[in-house]
Amino acid sequence: MSASSFRLLVKNATQVVLVCRNGEKYLTRDGMQTLAVVENGSVLIGHDGLIKAVGPADIIESQFKGAKFDNVLDASGMCVIPGLVDAHTHPVWAGDRVHEFAMKVLLSFYSICFNYCILYYMNISLSLCVREVSILTSKHLNTNNEALSLCSVVCVQLAGATYMEVHEAGGGIHFTVSHTRSATEQQLLDGLQSRLERMMRAGTTLVECKSGYGLELDTELKMLRVINSARNSLPIGISATYCGAHAVPKGKTMEEATQDIMAVQLPKIKMQIASGELQVDNIDVFCEKGVFDLNSTHCILKAGKDMGLNINFHGDELHPMNSAHLGAELGALAISHLEEVTDDGIAAMARAKTSAVLLPTTAYILRLSPPRARDMLDAGVIVALGSDFNPNAYCCSMPMVMHLACVLMKMSMPEALAASTINAAYALNRSHTHGSLEIGKQGDLVIINAPRWEHLVYQFGGHQELIRYVIIKGEVVYENAKVLNL
């Protein structure tokens, strides 16, 4: 290709939100409030998928007069932002948990489940209750035992149970593990591809994807292979995370699970990375009371780091575990959740430049106190956002995550966008290639049908009518002709 031939020209946008203009790896404090924006701008992307020019439309037109373009998009009246980055997802699984959502919101269901269990222990016929539970959960229950197992979890919630108590009663992660273990690799890939397509349609162009619903070697490897297959078959960028320490498997103690990860799972993953069979970028542990304690978390994360994996783990979500201190000590790239982080933990993360991946969807769905985003921002922590997409928090939309971050965590709209672009890319060690519209970076763009970019955050649930194009490496991967005017 000649120097005057390019893949894509996006011209005449009302606003082009660069986010950064000076090669910043991340933004903090005031930098998140004053995003770089070009009014009436254009973006030029080369055949290598990288941005070749970005700036005022008249200057770009003059500078590249006579150049040839494979594709030209007139963005008059529209806005261009960087492709969104989702820094925390669990998208590989089988068996949805819609029945658990029903358990959380239907008081009549609580009553039925309570009565069901009473009837069971009184040895009374259960056919009526099985039918009613099936109807309320939209889940076909074949046996009394299936219904009893489901209702036992509900009765735990009715008694004021926490997320972890539901988990220990056999719901939550363990439910998904059972279904994921029995699913074929193709079934998991089909599900993952569909979910990633939905994320792309919502503007996500780079996503972190975790394993973690196997909890033993074969299924964890199966999940990582599925993530690799998606990386090779879809345009969306993927950062793969091994999360074998997502929960303690049934029948094992925490110590036994830790030993299995250290002696069996990590060595095998290391071999497959070295042979080129797998590409894994990060390591994750759920550091939480009743799951993996601080010592086990330290051992697993350190072993992963020694293999060359970035540390990116769950910490201080339900209890203050000193995860933030541990992450800072180990040089973690990112810690997620942090609903229960301490002031000292916040300070430690700021000093270590460990990013905080905040997940407002989780706090919303579990009715937790939201993470202390304002305290972290004021302390200079690198704050990123993620959807926490998983069977418990079924949200594919980073625009909705940004809206929740503004409402629940008191972030400004510019802060939310920075946290969903450059800072989320930093959390995945990709801010040198993603997260802003600067020369030399990957040409990932979202074009929205609005005169101001803030509409993508402001219009809660309205992204499907706003997003006109999603572009990855200068190629249109999603085109929506059904956008609606404001």
CATH number at residue 199: 3.20.20.140
Residue 289 and residue 330 in one domain = yes
Using DSSP's 3-state secondary structure scheme, residue 352 falls into helix
Residue 15 counted as domain residue = yes
Residue 485 counted as domain residue = no
Give buried/exposed letters for 149-165 (b at 16+ CB in 10 A, else e): ebbbbbbbbbeebebbb
Rounded Cα distance between 350 and 465, Å, is: 38
Rounded Cα distance between 408 and 416, Å, is: 12
- Of the residues 171, 193, 213, which one is the last residue of a structural domain? 171
**pLDDT for the residue 133:** 45
Give buried/exposed letters for 176-201 (b at 16+ CB in 10 A, else e): bbebbbebeeeebbebbbebbeebbb
Structure token pair of residue 31: 């930098």
Number of residues that this document lists for the chain: 486
Residue 167 and residue 196 in one domain = no
Residue 233 and residue 296 in one domain = yes
Residue 368 and residue 450 in one domain = no
Residue 89 and residue 26 in one domain = no
Residue 314 and residue 388 in one domain = yes
**Per-position DSSP letters for 52-115, written without gaps between them:** EEEEEHHHHHHHTTT-EEEEEEE-TT-EEEEPEEE--B----SS--HHHHHHHH-HHHHHHHHH
**pLDDT for the residue 98:** 86
Give the tens place of pLDDT for each residue, 148-200.
Answer: 455 555 444 444 445 555 555 556 899 999 999 999 999 999 999 999 999 99
- Residue 6 is given by DSSP the state E
Residue 382 and residue 397 in one domain = yes
Rounded Cα distance between 392 and 176, Å, is: 10
Residue 159 and residue 190 in one domain = no
Residue 166 and residue 182 in one domain = no
Residue 484 counted as domain residue = no
Mean pLDDT confidence for 209-218:
99
Lowest mean pLDDT among 118-127, 290-299, 345-354, 366-375: 118-127
Residue 486 counted as domain residue = no
Number of structural domains found in the chain: 3
Rounded Cα distance between 455 and 364, Å, is: 22
- Residue 2 is given by DSSP the state -
Instruction: Report yes or no: 313 and 284 within 8 Å, Cβ to Cβ.
Output: yes
CATH number at residue 42: 2.30.40.10
pTM of the predicted structure, to 2 decimals:
0.89
Cβ contacts of residue 320 below 8 Å, gap of 6+?
340, 341, 342, 345
Domain that holds residue 451: 5-82+437-479
Residue 329 counted as domain residue = yes
Amino acid identity of residue 377, one-letter, is L
- Of the residues 129, 155, 171, which one is the last residue of a structural domain? 171
Average pLDDT score, the chain: 90
Lowest mean pLDDT among 98-112, 360-374, 438-452: 98-112
**pLDDT for the residue 367:** 86
What is the distance of C-alpha 124 from the center of its chain?
Answer: 45
Give buried/exposed letters for 261-300 (b at 16+ CB in 10 A, else e): bbeebbeebbebbeeeebebbbbbbbbbebbbeeebbbbb
Handedness of CA 353, 295, 224, 267 (dihedral sign): positive
Rounded Cα distance between 44 and 55, Å, is: 9
Rounded Cα distance between 339 and 316, Å, is: 6
